[in-house]
Amino acid sequence: MGQNLFEKIISTHLVSGEMVAGKEVGVRIDQTLTQESLGAMAYLQFEALNIPQVKTKLSVAYCDHLLAQFGPANADVHRYHETVTDKYGIVFSKPGNGICHQVHLERFSRPGQTLIGGDSHTVTCGAAGMVAIGAGGLDVALAMGGSPFFMTYPKVKKVILRGKLKNWVTAKDIILEVLKKLTTKGNVGTVLEYGGDGIAYMTVPERSTIANMGAETGVTTSLFPSDEMTRKFFVAQDREDQWQELLPDADAKYDDVIEIDLAAIEPNVALPHSPDKVVTVREAGEIAVDQVLIGSCTNSSYLDLMLVAEMLKGRKVHPHVSFGVVPGSRQVLSMITENGALSHIIAAGARILESGCGFCVGQGQSPQTAGVSVRTNNRNFAGRSGTQDGAVYLTSPVVAAATALTGKLTDPRDLGMEYPTIILPAKYNADDSQVLFPTGKKEVFRSEIIGTPPYNTPMPAELKSEVAIKVGNMLNTDDIIPGGEAMNYRANIPKSCEFIFQFIDPQFPKNCKDIVARGKAPVIVGGESYGQGSSREHAAVCPMYMGVRTLIAISIERIHKANLINFGILPLRLADAADYNRIEKGDELVIEDIYKTIYSDQITVRNVTKGASFIAMNETTKRQRDIILKGGLLNYAIAQK
């Protein structure tokens, strides 16, 4: 039997386990990446391992999230990254060089290799034939130290793209169509592998948009073959020697197949407040818009901005619209500057924003009170923009540009323009002058902003808990620990704890403190798809630091579940979803003899307050259960040395 792409790559990197869906496997990691919002903790954890140099083929640290630099906090984190990476053999991409996923795709992606990153959109590099997976920072730290990356082996779904897109329909519309079909929940333990005659027309930047927003479906990763189109991309990046062909076997098997007729797709939009609330732009109707922002790791490539520049050429944006454009990398910015496209964008009325994550992560460009913002990024959760009552709509760059011109949500086909023909250059500007390669000569910079890695204690013999908070369905990690101001303190766990559930229950930190004072452990109760969205491990680290030992939910998303385990928190799934309604904030919950019962797949939880019991499913492996009892992966790894 032939192999699909995922099987081909994993089989050459398998360290332990069986490649059977649902089984745990250990995988050798070739590359890692971090961004500074979450990376500082990863490097502090790596330092705690006392390993003199990274053991990966390549590890890169990017500074792309904390670029505003009000006061010293952000700059301190940047300097720590620059110096700690120099010491341990890690490549450093300076602030302003670009968004990590865009730059990594351009300069470091390698077909057939494995990549994990401390950011959920690491999956972007699946566009170049890599197995690229988002993970927690502690997983990244251990991979840099040479440890395998452990995951549940996923099912592989084939997504067959048939035919060709119509004018004004883009790769963003394809992935929004996929989100409409798959939604943002129920896809844990799945890989999407793209094929079909339609991909022959798709450039690597277009494929990257699709791979990038696979993260929003909750899949492990998305993967494209490395074919002639991929080779052209590597040639243009002056990296042809790093390209290799990688195709699925003709008789490869898949767990499921999805077919999409590209010619049938219309310009799409994701309505507030979820990326899967997808309708066509025409179905959404004429919605007055206050702000339009083009950029993010999803849609800030040279191709994206050239399309926008051609649409704006000789035109002015609507006077009411606040309009910003973010080139995804210094490479893109330099190229649209040299060919004059940037001048068309500026002349139309755009604000040119720094090449970074910015507006996508709530770091600037928040809309006005109750404002309507049309954006080309990947997430539109309530409050993620930095404005709690802001309404964010997700679209393609051409829809966003049309909207900026009219002041209302607009299908670009209704403008009467001729569709721009963009010819990609044979060579891109391959300037790595803003990438620092390690010398081993710099002293590690530290300040009070740079904290220490948090350690948990071993699990107590009897797990007496009290429900500190109960939340609803589809809670995302932005809800648990928001962006904005909180991002300034990611390297300092005690300070970060002040922001946990800030906009849901600001009393949560005090509740936890009071529960611990009563000799019990706080427990979090969640609904369906708890922990969607960003990989930010602080959504697990901070609750751990505050004494949380258990999370009980109807279902839990992959990266967040892994982070909970990494920090010694037992994730349990309700066997009967109806039991969710029988648990209330303040209930005392007890698990007897946890050191024995944790090795059971079903755990009885006694609700002392209600005088009742319920069954929770313990869907962890033997290794993960050992980690939880030790108080987390850092304790476990150090004990193994």
Q: Which residue ranges make up each domain of the chain?
A: 5-264, 268-412, 463-640
| Residue 641 pLDDT > 80 | no
> Which residues are within 8 A (CB) of 506 and not within 5 positions of it... i.e. 6 or more apart?
none
Please state the rounded mean pLDDT for residues 313-333.
98
- How far, in whole angstroms, is CA 359 from its chain's centroid? 15
Q: Which two tokens stand for residue 385?
A: 């923009």
Q: Which two tokens stand for residue 30?
A: 């070739």
Please state the rounded mean pLDDT for residues 597-608.
97
Is CATH 3.20.19.10 correct for 463-640? yes
> pLDDT at position 578, please?
97
> pLDDT at position 1, please?
81
Do the two domains 5-264 and 463-640 of this chain adopt the same fold? no
> pLDDT at position 522, please?
98
Cβ–Cβ under 8 Å, residues 325 and 291: no
pLDDT, tens digit (0-9, with 9 covering 90-100), for 171-188: 999 999 999 999 998 899
104: phi then psi, degrees, rounded to nearest 5: -65, -40
* Residue in the block written with tokens 């699709």: 210
| Residue 76 pLDDT > 80 | yes
Tell me the three state secondary structure of residue 226. strand
Q: Which two tokens stand for residue 437?
A: 């390669």
- pLDDT band, very low/low/confident/very high, at 390 (cuts 50, 70, 90): very high
d(CA 200, CA 177): 19
d(CA 310, CA 329): 20
Cβ–Cβ under 8 Å, residues 120 and 563: no
Cβ–Cβ under 8 Å, residues 8 and 223: no
> Which residues are within 8 A (CB) of 152 and not within 5 positions of it... i.e. 6 or more apart?
22, 23, 24, 25, 189, 558
> Which residues are within 8 A (CB) of 445 and not within 5 positions of it... i.e. 6 or more apart?
76, 79, 80, 82, 83, 84
Three-state SS annotation for 64-117: CCCCCCCCCHHHHHHHHHHHHHHHHCCEEECCCCECHHHHHHHHCCCCCCEEEE
Pinpoint the alpha helices (H) of 573-641. 594-597, 622-630, 633-640
Query: What is the chain's mean pLDDT, rounded?
Result: 96
> pLDDT at position 484, please?
80
Pinpoint the alpha helices (H) of 449-593. 477-480, 493-496, 508-517, 538-545, 558-566
- Could you tell me whether strands 521-526 and 602-607 are parallel, antiparallel, or unpaired per DSSP bridges? unpaired
d(CA 196, CA 211): 15
The total of other beta-carbon atoms located within 10 Å of residue 408's CB is 17
> DSSP string spanning 444-506?
PP--TTS-------PPPSSEEEEEEEE--TT-BHHHHS-SGGGGGGTT-HHHHGGGTTTTT-T
d(CA 561, CA 316): 47
d(CA 532, CA 555): 10
Q: Which two tokens stand for residue 127?
A: 């566009």
- Range ranked top by mean pLDDT from 64-73, 145-154, 632-641: 145-154
- pLDDT band, very low/low/confident/very high, at 432 (cuts 50, 70, 90): very high
- Could you tell me whether strands 612-617 and 570-574 are parallel, antiparallel, or unpaired per DSSP bridges? antiparallel
d(CA 389, CA 368): 9
Tell me the three state secondary structure of residue 332. helix
Q: What is the DSSP letter of 385?
A: T
Look up the CATH number of domain 5-264. Answer: 3.30.499.10
- pLDDT band, very low/low/confident/very high, at 503 (cuts 50, 70, 90): very high
| Residue 31 pLDDT > 90 | yes
d(CA 567, CA 539): 11
Look up the CATH number of domain 268-412. Answer: 3.30.499.10
Bond into 273 cis (ω within 30):
yes
Cβ–Cβ under 8 Å, residues 397 and 376: yes
pTM, full prediction: 0.95
> pLDDT at position 569, please?
98
| Residue 17 pLDDT > 80 | yes
Please state the rounded mean pLDDT for residues 89-104.
98
Cβ–Cβ under 8 Å, residues 440 and 84: no
- How far, in whole angstroms, is CA 7 from its chain's centroid? 23
* Portion of the chain with pLDDT greater than 90, in percent: 95
Q: How far lies 172's CA from each of 158, 219, 261, 348, 396, in Å?
A: 19, 17, 15, 23, 5
Q: Which two tokens stand for residue 624?
A: 């993960």
- How far, in whole angstroms, is CA 212 from its chain's centroid? 8
* Residue in the block written with tokens 């209704």: 414
Cβ–Cβ under 8 Å, residues 544 and 453: no
Q: In 3D, which of 243, 324, 326 has the Cα closest to residue 65?
A: 326
- pLDDT band, very low/low/confident/very high, at 453 (cuts 50, 70, 90): confident
> pLDDT at position 490, please?
87
> pLDDT at position 451, please?
86
* Portion of the chain with pLDDT greater than 70, in percent: 100
Categorise residue 581: left if φ over 0, alpha if ψ from -120 to 50, beta otherwise. alpha
| Residue 491 pLDDT > 90 | no
- pLDDT band, very low/low/confident/very high, at 640 (cuts 50, 70, 90): confident
